[in-house]
Amino acid sequence: MLADLGYGRPVSDHAEQILDLEVKLAYQERLIRELDAHVRELGDRLVKTERELTEIKQTIKTGGELPLGAPGEKPPHY
């Protein structure tokens, strides 16, 4: 049973296992940083979208006109 846990292996095998674990850890740390950046970006976009939605709701409540299309663009029937 101890051999199954790696206790019967030579030191070089343990060094190789440690190196493999360090490489995996480095990849996981990089992935976590990348995912964190994506989550932060999505959070910023969500805040902006919620702000825009609040403005649109307020415009609808006050009976104002909703800006459709690019600013200053005439509707297609003109």
- The total of other beta-carbon atoms located within 10 Å of residue 59's CB is 13
Give the pTM.
0.59
Confidence of residue 4 (pLDDT cuts 50, 70, 90): low
CB-count exposure of residue 44 (10 Å: 0-12, 13-18, 19+): exposed
Kindly report, residue by residue over 14-68, the tens digit of the pLDDT: 899 999 999 999 999 999 999 999 999 999 999 999 999 999 899 888 887 776 6
